[in-house]
A and B are shown apart, each in its own frame.
Chain A
Amino acid sequence: MKFAVVQFPGSNCDQDCIAALSGIDGLQAEYVWHKENSLDGFDAIVLPGGFSYGDYLRCGAIARFSPIMQAVLKDARAGKLIIGTCNGFQILCEAGLLPGALVRNRSLHFVCQMVNLRVEVSDTAFTHGLSAGSILRIPIAHGEGCYFADEATLRELNAHRQIILRYADSEGGVVPEANPNGSIENIAGICNRAGNVFGLMPHPDRASEARLGSADGAKIFRSMMQAISAGEARAA
């Protein structure tokens, strides 16, 4: 199974993603430069964290026009699994693949810390085998990670169970104190209506093995592998 890690100018978690993915049995990962036009031959696409195009104008605003994004949009429509972490999440929102937007942290500070994430929905391609209410420990590192969506969008997200992860305390309580950036409803990660595009501010790539402080991030990548295998089994 092969995952693509897209490199934009200014991506800086691309190597982390490659390392995290390559460490998983049965998984290969390859860089794809943003000037490429195709992602054919890849089972899933990763948009890594960083500061694509220096975060000029708005985070992710310019990366959206990179040639590779046409392939990302095409594959998203075709149902391929796509995960955007941190800046990747911002790019997915700017590209219109995910609703809402990410704005400046309420504290105005760049936050870099381990957080607890409560799994809200268990039967998605990204949370396969994780039970609803379970906690993932994954770090965040961002200045613009405050998720915003208008009321109508928020209602839709809740109604269609698109909110996958929320910032929580160690007991799983979704409380204001556990919200590191001011995100509306403590939202840390959402998926699209079809369930194949997932964006999250935390870095699963930085929590891929125990010696990094947590291996919970790898669970998300493993879940994607299982979903892809299950899909192939269904198609066969």
Chain B
Amino acid sequence: MLNVFAGKEQARTTFNLLSAPTHQYCDLVKVKVVVTPKAAVLDPQGVTVRDAMQHLGMPEVRDVRIGKYLEIELEGKDGDMEERLHGLCRDLLSNPVIEDYQIIS
């Protein structure tokens, strides 16, 4: 099983995507991941876009946060797939210090 949950002070070293189960997958699954900056992190890009939106005639815009959107295609819907995906999100796709992520199936 994927073990990526190292502590905060600990180096994130135990990442191993190669630890996939050996049995065959069949179904193709598309997973969508959204990564956004944490509330406490300044998002100057979002602020700039918000200003532009206000300037372009939408003064009601209060806040814009800009993140990343990933589409991941993978085989199978194995029982521990979700847990492994969360590990992947925590360890590679987002940096938990500055970002939150959401998995949308």
Contact = CB atoms under 8 A, between A and B. Distances in A.
Chain B interface main SS type: loop
A96 B44 contact: no
Interface in B67-99: 68, 92-93, 95, 97-98
Q: What band does the interface of chain A fall in when counting residues whose beta carbon is under 8 Å from B?
A: 20 to 34
Contacts of A97: 11
B87 to A, nearest CB: 14
Interface in B8-48: 8-13, 15, 37, 40-42, 44-45, 48
B6 interface: yes
Chain A interface main SS type: loop
A57 interface: yes
A97 B11 CA distance: 6
Find the residue from A65, A70, A103, A149 having the highest chain B CB count within 10 A. A103
Contacts of A100: 97
A88 interface: no
Interface in A180-219: 182, 193
Contacts of B68: 57
Contacts of B98: 101, 103, 148
Given A65-B15, A76-B11, A103-B98, A148 B41 contact: yes
Contacts of A96: 6, 10-13
B41 A61 contact: no
Given A57-B92, A73-B13, A76-B11, A148 B44 contact: no
B62 to A, nearest CB: 20
B42 A61 contact: no
A100 B93 CA distance: 17
A150 B97 contact: yes
Contacts of A64: 12
B92 A148 contact: no
A77 to B, nearest CB: 8
A108 interface: yes
B97 A61 contact: no
A58 B13 contact: no
A182 B42 contact: yes
Contacts of A155: none
Interface of B: 6, 8-13, 15, 37, 40-42, 44-45, 48, 68, 92-93, 95, 97-98
